[in-house]
Amino acid sequence: MVPRIWRRIKYRYNTITSFCESCGSYYYPQREICPKCRRKGAIRDVEIDGEGTVLSYTIVNGRKIALIEFENGARMLAEVCGDIEIGSKVRKVFRRYGEDGEDGIIYYGTKFIPIS
């Protein structure tokens, strides 16, 4: 599990979308091929400021998980801490997502809180 988690650290700690230079589309999560352009596409990382709008959410196992839409059209599933409804504006925060047991590594990532 360690290498799998390590590989994604860059993409978990900050909000980084994939941008296709050929068609101008933004994607989240990170991907290597643009589904519209395929081999004619040119994908690179674009970090965004982490502010978005709640499209929908659920509460499962005591946690609020929301689908958040960014201005560039990319969408991200993440935990939200605080009260939200569909349409709430949220911003990113750096939090713990879990751990690999008491003696394993800690998983950090991006969650969201409502912008008051």
Partner 1 sequence: MIGIVSYGTYIPKFRIKVEEITRIWNEDAETVKQNLGVLEKSVPDVDEDTATMAVEAGREAISRARIKPEKIGAIFVGSESHPYAVKPTATIVGEALGVGNYYFCADLEFACKAATAGMQICYAMVKAGMIEYGLSIGSDVAQAKPGDALEYTAAAGAAAVLIGKDPIAEIEATVSYTSDTPDFWRRELQPYPSHGGRFTGFPAYFRHIVMAAKKLMEEFGYTAKDFDYAVFHQPNAKFPQRVASMLGFSEEKIADGMIVRFIGNTYSASSLLGLCSILDKAMPDQRILLVSFGSGAGSDAFAIRVTDRILDYPRNTRVWDKLKECVYIDYALYLKHRRMIR
Partner 2 sequence: MRVAIIGVGTTEFGELWEKSFRSLFLSAGLSALEDAGIGGKEIEAIYIGNMSAGKFIDQEHIAALIADHAGLAEFGIPAVRVENADASGGSAFRQAYMAVASGMHSIAIAAGIEKVSDAKDPMEILSTAIDQEWERFVGANLPAIYAIIARLHMHKFGTKEEDLAMIAVKNHRNAVHNPKAQFRKEISVEDVMNSPYVAEPLKVLDCAPLSDGASAVILANEEIARKICDTPVYVEACTQASDYFSIQNRRDILTFQAVIKASRDAYRIAKIEPRDIDVAEVHDSFTIAELIAYEDLGFAKKGEGAKLIREGETEIGGRIPVNTSGGLKACGHAVGATGIRQIVDLVIQLRGEAKKRQVDAEKALALNIGGSGATAVVTILSR
Q: Does 52 bind partner 2 (CB under 8 A)?
A: no
Site for partner 1 in 67-106 (CB under 8 A): 79, 81, 93-97, 105-106
Task: Say how far apart CA 42 and CA 19 lie, in whole Å.
Answer: 8
Would you put residue 38 in left (φ > 0), alpha (ψ -120 to 50) or beta? left
Q: Does 51 bind partner 2 (CB under 8 A)?
A: no
The two structure tokens encoding residue 89: 């504006």
Q: Does 108 bind partner 2 (CB under 8 A)?
A: no
Q: Least Å distance between CB 21 and partner 2?
A: 19
The two structure tokens encoding residue 101: 């047991």
Q: Does 75 bind partner 2 (CB under 8 A)?
A: yes
Question: Taking CB under 8 A as the rule, which mask of x and - marks residues 3-42 in contact with partner 2?
Answer: -x---x---x--------------xxx-----x-------
DSSP alpha helix (H) spans, 1-116: 2-13
Q: Does 40 bind partner 1 (CB under 8 A)?
A: no
Q: Least Å distance between CB 64 and partner 1?
A: 12
Burial bucket for residue 15 (CB in 10 Å: 0-12, 13-18, 19+): buried
